């Protein structure tokens, strides 16, 4: 075989490897973007299940493949008071878990490897605890005004399986003054009818910037 033929074969192999690597990168980037969007985007409708709930004046973004639901009992940041609540609910899917592992770097095999997880106390893969608790942030983001996280305490009491529907509920329990509020934060696994995270958050609520 001539040196020219060897060079051509090496070039072809390098091209194939680059194509495969590029495809993997694009797939990972797509998953990462999906995870980031899940933390920032807002669905266009409320589930309207509570007669006290008012329509949310949050700019909607068309993202029709998501099944998010939320409701809240206050629509004006000037009227937030003790007892007001926001609930956010979604299914935590396989795509969510894979994307979160990529974005966060948390590649614990308990979340990603079926065979490994089968031999643990859980018997199956479970959702990252930090991904589950992130739904609290999604609920807080739906308070009227611009919500700024100041602190969060969490206690985990149970796992969430991949594909489970989970809800986060935040309730204002104290007005601390200076536009700061203390909230009770609870996450429930709706499929198991069980509380999986309890905690408290303190937030600062600013006015929204003028558009």
Domains of the chain, residue spans: 3-206
Q: What pLDDT shows up at residue 67? A: 80
Q: What pLDDT shows up at residue 53? A: 44
What is the mean predicted confidence (pLDDT) over 73-80? 95
Tens digit of each residue's pLDDT (9 = 90 or more) over 150-187: 999 999 999 999 999 999 999 999 999 999 999 999 99
The answer to pTM > 0.85 is no
Whole-angstrom Cα distance, residue 149 to residue 15?
Answer: 47
Share of the chain above pLDDT 70, in %: 69
The answer, yes or no, to whether residue 122 has pLDDT greater than 90, is: yes
Would you state the CATH architecture of domain 3-206? Roll (3.10)
Average pLDDT, the chain: 80
Are the C-beta atoms of residues 127 and 197 closer than 8 Å to each other? no
Strands, E, within the chain: which ranges? 69-72, 85-91, 146-156, 165-177, 180-189, 194-206
The answer, yes or no, to whether residue 64 has pLDDT greater than 60, is: no
Q: What pLDDT shows up at residue 56? A: 44
Among the residue ranges 20-29, 91-100, 103-112, 170-179, the one predicted with the least confidence is 20-29
Q: What pLDDT shows up at residue 148? A: 96
Three-state secondary structure readout of 135-163: HHHHHHCCCCCEEEEEEEEEEECCCCECC
């Amino acid at each position: 075989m001539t040196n020219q033929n060897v060079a051509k074969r090496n070039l072809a192999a390098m091209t194939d490897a680059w194509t495969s690597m590029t495809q993997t990168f694009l797939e990972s980037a797509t998953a990462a973007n999906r995870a980031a969007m899940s933390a920032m985007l807002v669905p266009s409708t409320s589930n309207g299940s509570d007669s006290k709930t008012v329509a949310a004046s949050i700019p909607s973004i068309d993202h029709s493949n998501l099944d998010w639901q939320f409701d809240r009992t206050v629509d004006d940041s000037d009227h937030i008071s003790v007892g007001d609540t926001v609930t956010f609910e979604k299914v935590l899917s396989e795509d969510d878990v894979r994307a979160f592992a990529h974005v966060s770097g948390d590649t614990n095999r308990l979340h990603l490897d079926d065979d490994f997880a089968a031999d643990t106390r859980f018997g199956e893969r479970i959702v990252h605890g930090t991904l589950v608790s992130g739904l609290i942030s999604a609920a807080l983001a739906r308070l009227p005004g611009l919500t700024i996280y100041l602190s969060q305490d969490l206690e985990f009491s149970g796992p969430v399986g991949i594909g489970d529907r989970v809800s986060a509920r935040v309730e204002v329990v104290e007005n601390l003054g200076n536009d700061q509020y203390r909230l009770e934060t609870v996450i429930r696994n709706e499929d198991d009818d069980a509380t999986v995270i309890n905690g408290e958050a303190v937030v600062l609520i600013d006015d929204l910037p003028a558009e």
